[in-house]
Structure 1
Amino acid sequence: MNGILTGFFGAIVEAWAQLRIGKLRVLLSLVGVAAAVAAMTFVIALGQVSVDAINKVGEKYTGRQGTVTINVSPTGKGLDQALQADDAPEASADESTGSNGAGSSGGSGGSSGGGSSSADGSGASTTTSAATAARISGAMSSFVERYDVKSWATTYTSNVRFSFPDGARSVPTQTVSLSYGLLHHKSISQGRWFTAQDEDDLSPSLVVTQGFLDAMGIQQFTGPITITSFSPVQTSFTIVGVLEAEDLSLIGCSGDPERDAGLPCTQPVTAFALNTPYESWLPKDATRPAPTLEVWAGKSGAKDVASLAKKDLDARFGQGSTRTEDNLQGSSMSSSASTFTQVVTAAGVFVMLLGALSLVNISLVTVRQRIHEIGVRRSFGATSRRIFFSIMLESVVATVVAGVVGIGIAIMGMRFMPLSSFLGIPVETTPPFPWWQPSSALSPPPPWARWRASSRRSWPPASGRSTRSATDAPSGPAP
């Protein structure tokens, strides 16, 4: 054992001595390798960091990659008469008041849920009866509980009439669950996002846009602010946070283009309300939009979650009641990010090949010196294995040193890179430097890996009102 360690450390010492002797050759090798590694690392790191920044901007509007949006519009098809009377579209009494079913509200809620704080202000989502909205909300809650969903949120948009200094104004308000901010990367510039403690407050909590705060005539948010609402319920809301100001070059101007022609663009006036305290103030018979359920399933589980949601919710509300969509297909931002990644990866590989070519050239130039060194070592009795190991170790030591130097240069370059100016999009937080490792070995299991066993154990739900047979249970892979 001692002989092996002595030989190993002796070879390292000899390699270091050879590095000190052949300074010119080593310097050329170090410069070539360091330049190639620095260029490749910088290009690929810039691509990955840029894609991460672009995705974060997109996730503010559409949710994290792999988010499935689920809307329910009860049809009553395939249900017995008793269930059809409960879950069919609105009764004639609702129709006479102008209610148009939950499907439109689900779509609007999905759009608003996928959108940012810049609601279009087009008005409230189409409302449904309180009973129908409650049944849909209860079915969605049962769905996430049954399949142990960890990352989900509900949302719907309605108009709330608030009291401003210049008079009352209807403000598009998204009523969201607690985890909505996590799914959409909501960034708070002042105050905070909702917390679990807010659910017990008698005064519903609000997170507003900068435009909302400006409309109140407040320049700086220094603490909770109270504002009164007149409809759909008269109560006092407590503003607990203010969102980052929107980049108007990305979302455009809010309001009527013809009416506001010539006026400067202003920040959108919208708000987010926490659902639990807000809904506790609503009258039991108040009409409201049906909620939209957003489930983060990841890129690999989106299709499975969508299929499972359709089978589960259609069994409760009738065939064709459930509409699902994800943000993986048809996303221009995702497509641009993927193309950008491919381009920078190809550029990085090309730069690395150039660096390798320069290293080969340096090795060819110094081959005569290598032959001389080998002859001298052989004349002193060195074995072929010892000579080969020493020369290879010399190259390894030099390459490792050059690689560390190159990566250090790339990291320093990324630290001082003005990403916002370079990308043309707001970068709120600089993403960390990417360290490439095998994702299959280091990544945790997908959040839907345990759904297969869970779905088979709990399907069909014992308490559900489904009339489907056991053969209608989902047979495909559950997320």
Structure 2
Amino acid sequence: MNGVLTTIVGTFVESWQELRVHRGRVVLSLVGVTIAVASLAVVVGFGALAEKATAALNEQYGGRPATFSLTASSSTGDAVADEDALFAEYRAAADRYDVRWTSEAMEGPRKVQFPDGVADVYTRTVDPDYAEMHRVRMASGAWFTEDDRGRLAPAVVVNRAFLERLGDPDIVTHPTVRLPGTPGSVAVVIGEYVTSEYDTEPSMYEMARSVASTGLTADPDMGISRSFEVWVPDHHAKQLAKRIASDAERASGGAVEVSADRMDAAGTVDGDPLGPLRYVIAAVSVLVLVLGGLGLLNVSLVSVRQRIREIGIRRGVGATAGRVFVAVLLENVLGTAVAGAVGVMLGAAVLSNGTVRSAITSGADVGGAPFPLEAALVGIGAAVAVGALAGLLPALVAVRVKVIDAIRY
């Protein structure tokens, strides 16, 4: 056991010493490998970040897998007579099937009195579960709770553009805003939710079935739509959503028709929308990696030919063919491993830059480490593989060196 360990350690030491002796040529040959690995790491990291950002943005707007929207229409073509009763049936049906996450969702313009005048603000009227279903993140303050339904001064959660138009007050001061209407009301801003830097128009959330939403009905002419959302397990999701819709239809006595449509991107988008771009960039990176490997191969062959006498002497004093083969092969593997580590660090520096990361993720919260682990593993793995392939031919040449010819060289 000690002999095997000594052989392994000795081989690594010999390979590292050779790298130090020929470091000039090795460094020049590994520049291409370093650049290629950095490019490859950036490509893989870009793909991972973009995929997470796309999923986060899709879930923000369409909901988590699997989210269904239940919408009703009268069997006679008229407006649904009693929407509140129908939505109560939705909730009862969801409870019957142990569906934990549900939310009413009505969206459209709502008049808000700002210091500079009245404006139509895009408003979503939702239940507290909506935040979990759509990954709503808070920048400050708090999201709705069930206790907020009974507020005499209704609660609203707004975006940064809304606060700036309101005069940029501090959330902790409980700023108020007037909502004109019949009747009008004065709402309290309880929180600010996170939005993209490109979201420059004021928008807000208000609580469903609260004072703020009293008298607010879905008016298609005003662009207001009302639906009921359910987040169900992805397994048999379609069947479960249709059961809830069918139960609500039966409870209405056949007066309405309820449809269940899947909202989340996982149920509507096929394949990888970023795939073509990633494949093109990856192909270029692989090409650069191959060119770097060819340069390393050329330097390794020249180095072996210059060391024929040294190799012959080592064979003459007892070094086995296997020992020589592994030593020459490891010289390349160790060199490219170091180059790969440097390339990965360069890639990590690029992707960890706040401006670059924000451009890739569009401001979405993707979580995890600043640099994806899979990008680091792919970069190091590719570098080691190139080193092994580039060192294979020189190692075979070194093994075939005849001792007597090498000593005469």
Q: Are positions 1:272 and 2:205 aligned together?
A: yes
What is the match of residue 334 of structure 2?
397
What is the match of residue 471 of structure 1?
none
Alignment of 1:293-372 (within 5 A): 293-295=229-231, 301=234, 304-318=236-250, 321-326=258-263, 327-328=265-266, 336-369=273-306, 371-372=308-309
Q: Is the 8 A contact 2:106 2:126 kept in 1?
A: yes
Give unmatched runs, 5+ long, in structure 2: 219-224, 378-409
Distance 1:166 1:23 in 2: 69
What is the match of residue 170 of structure 2?
221
SS of the aligned residue for 1:427 comes to coil
Letter of the 2:280 counterpart: V
Letter of the 1:427 counterpart: G
Deviation at 1:328, TM superposition (A): 4.1
Deviation at 1:384, TM superposition (A): 2.0
Distance 2:115 2:376 in 1: 57
Q: Is the 8 A contact 1:162 1:230 kept in 2?
A: yes
Pick the aligned partner of 2:79 from 100, 111, 119: 100
Q: Is the 8 A contact 1:47 1:345 kept in 2?
A: no
Distance 1:395 1:243 in 2: 52
Q: Higher helix proportion, which one?
A: 2
What is the match of residue 37 of structure 1?
37
Task: Give the direction of change, closer, same or farther, for the CA distance of 1:228–1:193 in structure 2 (3 Å limit).
Answer: same
CA offsets per residue over residues 205-255 of structure 1, 9 Å max, x none? 21123454455x42343432233546576654320223457666xx8xxxx
Give unmatched runs, 5+ long, in structure 1: 76-88, 102-126, 252-266, 440-479
CA offsets per residue over residues 417-443 of structure 1, 9 Å max, x none? 7337966x843668721221899xxxx
- After TM superposition, the structure 1 stretch with the greater mean CA deviation from structure 2, 429-438 or 344-353, is 429-438
Under a length normalisation based on structure 1, what TM-score does the superposition of the two structures give? 0.61
CA offsets per residue over residues 263-299 of structure 1, 9 Å max, x none? xxxx5343201337x279859xx967754215376xx
CA offsets per residue over residues 304-326 of structure 1, 9 Å max, x none? 41233113432442596222134
Distance 1:178 1:43 in 2: 39
Deviation at 1:59, TM superposition (A): 4.7
SS of the aligned residue for 1:317 comes to helix
Q: Is the 8 A contact 1:188 1:244 kept in 2?
A: yes
SS of the aligned residue for 1:178 comes to coil
Task: Give the direction of change, closer, same or farther, for the CA distance of 1:239–1:188 in structure 2 (3 Å limit).
Answer: same
Distance 1:181 1:17 in 2: 59
Q: Is the 8 A contact 1:33 1:356 kept in 2?
A: yes
Task: Give the direction of change, closer, same or farther, for the CA distance of 1:337–1:58 in structure 2 (3 Å limit).
Answer: farther
Q: Is the 8 A contact 1:228 1:234 kept in 2?
A: yes
Distance 2:276 2:102 in 1: 29
Pick the aligned partner of 1:436 from 355, 362, 374: 374
Letter of the 1:204 counterpart: P
Distance 1:227 1:30 in 2: 63
Distance 1:353 1:417 in 2: 31
Under a length normalisation based on structure 2, what TM-score does the superposition of the two structures give? 0.70
Q: Aligned residue pairs: how many?
A: 361
Distance 2:167 2:355 in 1: 32
Letter of the 1:221 counterpart: D
Q: Is the 8 A contact 2:102 2:228 kept in 1?
A: no
Distance 2:353 2:375 in 1: 24
SS of the aligned residue for 1:436 comes to helix
Q: Is the 8 A contact 1:152 1:180 kept in 2?
A: yes
Distance 1:35 1:420 in 2: 20
What is the match of residue 71 of structure 1?
70
Q: Are positions 1:139 and 2:93 aligned together?
A: yes
Distance 1:164 1:391 in 2: 75
Letter of the 1:321 counterpart: V
CA offsets per residue over residues 134-178 of structure 1, 9 Å max, x none? 2123323444x25xx5x6654223665555557776655312233
Q: Are positions 1:21 and 2:21 aligned together?
A: yes
* Percent sequence identity over aligned pairs: 26
Task: Give the direction of change, closer, same or farther, for the CA distance of 1:397–1:3 in structure 2 (3 Å limit).
Answer: same
Letter of the 2:351 counterpart: M
Alignment of 1:73-472 (within 5 A): 73=72, 100-101=79-80, 128-143=82-97, 145-146=98-99, 153-157=103-107, 162=112, 164=114, 171-186=121-136, 188=138, 191-194=140-143, 196=145, 199=148, 202=151, 203-213=153-163, 217-223=166-172, 224-229=174-179, 236-243=186-193, 267-275=200-208, 278=210, 282=214, 291-295=227-231, 301=234, 304-318=236-250, 321-326=258-263, 327-328=265-266, 336-369=273-306, 371-416=308-353, 418-419=355-356, 426-427=362-363, 432-436=370-374
Task: Give the direction of change, closer, same or farther, for the CA distance of 1:361–1:52 in structure 2 (3 Å limit).
Answer: farther
Distance 2:25 2:115 in 1: 76
Q: Is the 8 A contact 1:43 1:347 kept in 2?
A: no
Q: Is the 8 A contact 1:40 1:351 kept in 2?
A: no
